[in-house]
């Protein structure tokens, strides 16, 4: 196990609703990255948080937002849910922000939008 925990494991929402996903990073890690993994696809980078600040963002609309807390845990919020938001959402924590900093992934939250 990686020590990265995500909650909830599964979630069902309807179109237009809002959702909050949570991630507890591995002990000592100050960086959290969020990814969206559609069925049969590789993960797509959403954004990264480093010491409570957004440190970069992928090609996702503003209705995808996040937070990182002083204990380095993190939330991903998605507003105005669309059917295409149905996916596995992965959180990864790392010691730093560089590409050599190994990212340890949680098991993900499976979001279904009906």
Partner 1 sequence: QQQVKQSPQSLIVQKGGISIINCAYENTAFDYFPWYQQFPGKGPALLIAIRPDVSEKKEGRFTISFNKSAKQFSLHIMDSQPGDSATYFCAASRGSNYQLIWGAGTKLIIKP
Q: Interface residues with partner 1 (CB under 8 A)? A: 2, 4, 31, 33, 40-45, 48, 55-56, 58, 90, 92, 94, 97-108
Q: CB burial class (10 A; 0-12, 13-18, 19+) of residue 71?
A: exposed
Spatial separation of the C-alpha atoms in residues 33 and 69, rounded to whole Å:
13
Nearer residue to partner 1 within complex by CB, 35 or 81: 35
CB of 63 to partner 1, least distance (A): 20
Spatial separation of the C-alpha atoms in residues 109 and 35, rounded to whole Å:
11
CB of 97 to partner 1, least distance (A): 5
Nearer residue to partner 1 within complex by CB, 103 or 113: 103
Nearer residue to partner 1 within complex by CB, 31 or 113: 31
Backbone dihedral region of 102: left (phi > 0), alpha (psi from -120 to 50 degrees) or beta? Answer: beta
Nearer residue to partner 1 within complex by CB, 94 or 113: 94
CB of 14 to partner 1, least distance (A): 25
Q: CB burial class (10 A; 0-12, 13-18, 19+) of residue 62?
A: exposed
């Amino acid at each position: 196990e990686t020590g990265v925990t995500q909650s909830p494991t599964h979630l069902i929402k309807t179109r237009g609703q809002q959702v909050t996903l949570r991630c507890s990073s591995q002990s000592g890690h100050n960086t959290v990255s969020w990814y969206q993994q559609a069925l049969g696809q590789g993960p797509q980078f959403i954004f990264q948080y480093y010491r409570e600040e957004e440190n970069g963002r992928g090609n996702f609309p503003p209705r995808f937002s996040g937070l990182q807390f002083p204990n380095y845990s993190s939330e991903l919020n998605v507003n105005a849910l669309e059917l295409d938001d149905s996916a596995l959402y992965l959180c990864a924590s790392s010691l730093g922000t560089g590409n050599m900093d190994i990212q340890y992934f949680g098991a993900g939250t499976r979001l279904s939008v009906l």
